Homo-oligomer: A and B are copies of this chain.
Amino acid sequence: MAVAGATSFSAANISERAALPPALALSTVIFALRPSENSGRPTLWLPLVRRIREPFKDLWALPGGPLTQADSLQDAAARNLQETTGLAPNYLEQLYAFGGLHRSPSQRVVSIVYWALVQSTQADLAQETENVKWFRADGLQELAFDHNEIVDYALWRLRNKMAYGSIAYHLLGETFTLAQVREVYEAVLNRSIDPANFRRQLKQAAHIEATDEFLQGGKHRPPRLYRYTGERQGEQPGSLFSAH
């Protein structure tokens, strides 16, 4: 099924494409926070898999696969994510259906793409193999297919949701300090935020509750731990309540 060089197409090639039914595939953009190599501050990373076949052999690509028959799109995305990277997502939402004519040089492929958030602890457990590796989300190298464009769009959506919705918690564990939430915002939105104002906004708007515990072991005054009380899963058409 894989053919020739990925750059140009003959007329014969095009008419051959028109005869085949478009294939349906699922891919997922997975985000997690990991410490930066330099500063050690949390930054956005995502796992990619190496292509071991043409087309785009040896380039890195989003994890994905065919649509499993017995699952809904959402379930199939979660299952596929688990099988290719070993990760269990904390948040999963449909991103977009990409269906340009020449996304793949061989057969025409329509990809339904999801995006996911996983906790840092999860991400650390995930095995890095020869063919699965984490990359920083910004300044990514050239990827297979149109996956650079897809990652850019996912990043845009993530930042949008972060700025308005209450999504940051899905990158954190069961309990967290308000400073940690702030660090998530700063890492994703790539700008510093006033701690005083930020904590107030969180405590009034978002769905969190204070616990009786404090994070010990720091150098300074131990901060209080909080817990997220909102929805755990991603946004879906069924749930028409979330503001954005």
Contacts and interface: CB of A to CB of B under 8 A. Distances in A.
Interface of A: 17-18, 21-22, 24, 67, 69-73, 76, 94, 96-101, 108, 110, 112, 149-150, 152-153, 156, 160, 237-238, 240, 244
Contact of A99 (B73, B153, B156, B238): B73
Interface centre among A24, A69, A99, A150 (most CB of B within 10 A): A99
Given A94-B97, A97-B97, A156-B240, A69 B149 contact: no
A150 B236 CA distance: 11
B112 A100 contact: no
Given A99-B112, A112-B112, 9 more contacts: A72-B99, A72-B101, A73-B99, A96-B237, A97-B112, A98-B237, A149-B237, A150-B237, A156-B240
A238 B149 CA distance: 7
**8 pairs of A and B residues whose beta carbons are closest in the complex:** A73-B99, A153-B237, A97-B97, A18-B69, A97-B112, A156-B240, A72-B100, A96-B237
A91 to B, nearest CB: 17
Contact of A94 (B18, B21, B96, B238): B96
Copies of this chain assembled into the complex: 2
B24 A22 contact: yes
A100 B108 CA distance: 23
A69 B22 CA distance: 8
Contacts of A150: 237
Contacts of A149: 237-238
B240 A152 contact: yes
Nearest to A240: B156
A27 to B, nearest CB: 12
Contacts of A99: 67, 72-73, 76, 112
A97 B70 contact: no
A73 B112 contact: no
A156 to B, nearest CB: 5
Contacts of A98: 73, 237
23 contacts: A18-B69, A21-B21, A21-B24, A22-B24, A24-B24, A24-B110, A67-B110, A70-B101, A71-B101, A72-B100, A72-B101, A73-B97, A73-B99, A73-B110, A94-B96, A97-B112, A98-B237, A112-B112, A149-B237, A149-B238, A150-B237, A152-B237, A152-B240
